[in-house]
Structure 1
Amino acid sequence: MKHSLMLVALLVTSSALASTVAEVKKKGVLVLGTDPTFAPFEFKGADGQIQGFDIDIARAVAKDLGVKLEIRAVGFGALMPQAVTSGRVDMAMSGITITAERAKVVAFSGPYYRSAQVFIVRGGNPGKFAWPADVKGRTIGVQATTTGQFVANDVLKPRGAALKVYDDFSAGLADVRAGRIAALIGDAPTVADLQKRLPGQFAKAGADLAAEDYGMVFRKGSDLAAAANRTLARMKASGEYQALLNKWIVQK
């Protein structure tokens, strides 16, 4: 009986969220799930509020729908895809790479940002780490359930690299800074942001590991994906998208 009551509670909680444009408009709120540890896309500012490139795009989607945006911090491992498929959030943005495997269980918007997986090392690269040079015997950090982990499993492990998996990206950065791992796999804009905020502490090493496109994520079959695409097209045509790139990502 307890299990039945818990199931009913979960169903009631999920029903409070929405998976269609009509439901979101009726509710008056678009619930965004994000892991706020990925500057400059989503992170907590000095005031404790979540901000960033992804957040501003999500606000534009909500505005075009005529509703408010509610932001929920969700760890990446729980965000993709469980928070979306369970109805815990209406949409997810957290530098989420569009992949064929993920598209089997969630709906993606069109690409809104082109990025790359790169190697983050200590400033000055004292360990002389390079890619695609031999990585045999090196310990490389990856964040759990990210495309960086997937690519590392496919490409680096067969070359003899040891992988250390982190639930929290910041813990991986701490190990890079302390010299406990040779490098951490992350997204290219992250390195630029780290170099701006923490001069001399981190650097990019070697060639890019892989290129990728980010997408907004929704429940399978949801017409919210089409609505997001319309907002994205409007923002690009009006210059709003470029203004956000200049604000958050383009290095001054």
Structure 2
Amino acid sequence: MKRLSLVLPALLLASVSHAATVAQVKAKGVLVLGTDPTFAPFEFKGPDGQIQGFDIDIARAVAKDLGVKLEIRPVGFGALMPQSVTSGRVDMAMSGITITPERAKVVAFSGPYYRSAQVFIVRGGNPGKFTWPSDVKGKTLGVQANTTGQYTANGMLKPKGAVLKVYDDFAAGLADVRAGRITALIGDAPTVADLGKRLPGQFAQAGQPLAAEDYGMVFAKGSDLAAAANRTLARLKASGEYQKLLNTWIVQK
């Protein structure tokens, strides 16, 4: 996402990292996944209350290849990265987590499993005719707290005269977009496609993407689970299963 938690707490916690290993996971028979289930279509609660999504299906494939069950543990994003991983509360984390050099000092990432982009979400039809990069001066733009969108906006949009409004809750930002209280909200490109399916005509993407980013699966430093996840990812891509998952969850039909 989106998601970029503060670096300093991560560095402080690095010294107490508990690296779960493949052998330990196989011995207990369970791979514990930490995720913040508020980021459709990657992880969210379905009508039956069960957590589902693109990330969840990839994590299930990792668990299957290890010969264990997947246990899904909901964790708020502020506690998910990196605390839940470095403390050993979870064996892995997935929640649209962007790979960054700062985070890679604290946790281990799999290879990238999805290329995303930060985009501007506006009201359907873009009644304000907002565009990027030509039209940000004096505009009020929403960002979600502690996300890559916020940090990118601070570096690229504030210097151009944009006014940033920070939200703890992404849904609150969407509500302000819909009500016309802000010009646009910065979010991930797949989110726009998902909104188009769930709330047709209410939201749209405006202008060019703000920045590209890669998502990765997250593990404790030194864990061989990262290599196991990479093997699963390679298998999914070679077999065509990865594309099927993309078609199921992300590709707009």
How far apart, CA to CA, are the structure 1 residues paired with 2:184 and 2:89?
34
Q: 1:53 corresponds to which letter in structure 2?
A: F
Q: 2:195 corresponds to which letter in structure 1?
A: L
Query: Any conservation in 1 of the 2:19–2:223 contact (CA below 8 Å)?
Result: no
User: Deviation string for 1:179-199 (max 9, x for gaps)?
Assistant: 121111111111011011100
Equivalent residue runs for 1:127-206 within 5 Å: 127-206=128-207
Matched, 1:24 2:28: no
Q: Between the two proteins, what is the percent identity of the paired residues? A: 87
Q: Stretches of 4+ moved more than 6 A in 1?
A: none
Matched, 1:118 2:122: no
Query: Any conservation in 2 of the 1:116–1:209 contact (CA below 8 Å)?
Result: yes
How far apart, CA to CA, are the structure 1 residues paired with 2:177 and 2:208?
18
How far apart, CA to CA, are the structure 1 residues paired with 2:24 and 2:154?
40
Moved more, 19-28 or 228-237: 19-28
Instruction: Could you tell me which runs of 5 or more consecutive residues in structure 2 were left unpaired when the two chains were aligned.
Output: 1-15
How far apart, CA to CA, are the structure 2 residues paired with 1:33 and 1:122?
33
Matched, 1:75 2:76: yes
User: Deviation string for 1:80-123 (max 9, x for gaps)?
Assistant: 22221222211111111111111111110001011111001111
User: Deviation string for 1:113-170 (max 9, x for gaps)?
Assistant: 1111100111111222210013122121111221111111110111121212222211
How far apart, CA to CA, are the structure 2 residues paired with 1:226 and 1:169?
33
Q: Which residue of 1 aligns with 2:6?
A: none
Q: Which residue of 2 aligns with 1:233?
A: 234
Query: Any conservation in 2 of the 1:41–1:95 contact (CA below 8 Å)?
Result: yes
How far apart, CA to CA, are the structure 1 residues paired with 2:102 and 2:130?
31
Instruction: Could you tell me which runs of 5 or more consecutive residues in structure 1 were left unpaired when the two chains were aligned.
Output: 1-13
Report the number of matched residues: 238
Query: Any conservation in 1 of the 2:32–2:70 contact (CA below 8 Å)?
Result: yes
What's the offset of the Cα at 1:18?
6.1
How far apart, CA to CA, are the structure 1 residues paired with 2:236 and 2:160?
43
Q: TM-score w.r.t. structure 2 length?
A: 0.90
Query: Any conservation in 2 of the 1:111–1:213 contact (CA below 8 Å)?
Result: yes
What's the offset of the Cα at 1:213?
0.9
**What is the root-mean-square deviation of aligned Cα atoms in Å?**
1.5
User: Deviation string for 1:14-73 (max 9, x for gaps)?
Assistant: 99x861111111111111111111111111111111100000000000111111111111
